[in-house]
Amino acid sequence: MHQQRSNLPKVIYKYVSYADGIKLFFSKQLKFSTPDSFNDPHDCNENIFKFTIDNYSTQLMLDEGLYSRDEDEINLSIEELTKKLLTEGKINLQNLKFREIFEGFKRSLGVTCFSRESNDFLMWSHYADKHKGFCIGFDTHYFNEKCDLKVYKIIYSNSFKKYDFFNETELACNKWLTTKSKKWKYENEYRLFTREKKPTLINEDGLLKFDENLIKHVSIGCKNPCNIDLFIKSLKQLGYKDIEFIKYKLKDDSFDIEAIKLN
């Protein structure tokens, strides 16, 4: 998956609940989830894929474990097997066997999501437990250079075209993972992805171990229950440094929140 990085922001932000934020800070681990955990039913919708069956895709499926021959197919050539698959219509997501294999492919993916925005009222409400959590700013350069992970910008659209899963796999998967409805445009989302062959920094539970230099910004929600002085002192004792700390409060004269710099 290729994307120009010149326009990437230096810092991207993750809104989290109080409990998830504390766990992240103290464990120094960032969680990657599978696409089926997203709250948008169209997000990573496999309808974006089409499955063209030809000799190339048949061989690719066999090589990648996306299809295994039945007993009566063992001695068939690739050309004969392709013709049989086309005739029987086995390779589609309505076929239970192929669906099971495809779901395994989805489970091999890890995704974690961010925003370009550090102060969006709705993001605080939806992803930071109704303003009780944190907004954490992460260094994009760290992801690129220290973790060998690229940051991808989400593209918002009212519709999508279909891409061939077998014959344009990289492009198809890129569009699948980075295209969302315009209804979500306010999120200004960015993502990191991993595949089954994960970087060594990510463990089998989908957790990325990081050092203190990854986090550059911490905003504390207007309803966050933490003791601010103790919280900041604890982070400094854990080795975090060069962090901008912000506390949000309700504004007195409008339906908004305002930032108070703490350092």
**Are 146 and 198 in a shared domain?**
yes
Domain end, chosen from 54, 83, 107, is at 107
The share of the chain scoring above pLDDT 90, in percent, equals: 58
Q: For position 134, what pLDDT does the model report?
A: 98
* Residue 6 domain flag: no
If you average pLDDT over residues 190-218, what whole number do you get? 82
Task: Please count the structural domains in the chain.
Answer: 2
**Are 131 and 257 in a shared domain?**
yes
List C-alpha distances in Å: 157 to 12, 30, 153, 184, 225.
22, 29, 13, 10, 38
**Are 159 and 59 in a shared domain?**
no
Q: For position 6, what pLDDT does the model report?
A: 55
pLDDT tens for each residue of 233-261? 999 999 998 999 999 999 999 999 999 99
**Are 195 and 85 in a shared domain?**
no
**For residue 170, what are its two tokens?**
């990289």
pLDDT tens for each residue of 45-104? 888 888 889 999 899 888 877 788 989 999 999 999 999 998 888 787 777 777 777 787
Q: For position 2, what pLDDT does the model report?
A: 44
If you average pLDDT over residues 210-220, what whole number do you get? 95
> Is 70 exceeded by the pLDDT of residue 185?
yes
**Are 124 and 238 in a shared domain?**
yes
Domain end, chosen from 107, 127, 156, is at 107
pTM of the model as a whole: 0.84
**Are 67 and 167 in a shared domain?**
no
If you average pLDDT over residues 182-209, what whole number do you get? 81
* Residue 15 domain flag: yes
If you average pLDDT over residues 12-38, what whole number do you get? 93
Range of the domain at 194: 11-37+110-261
**Are 60 and 175 in a shared domain?**
no
**Are 94 and 201 in a shared domain?**
no
- Quote the mean pLDDT of the chain: 89
Of 139, 95, 128, give the one whose Cα is nearest residue 226. 128
Cβ atoms of 181 and 156 within 8 Å: the answer is yes
**Are 66 and 183 in a shared domain?**
no
Other C-beta atoms within 10 Å of 238: how many?
12
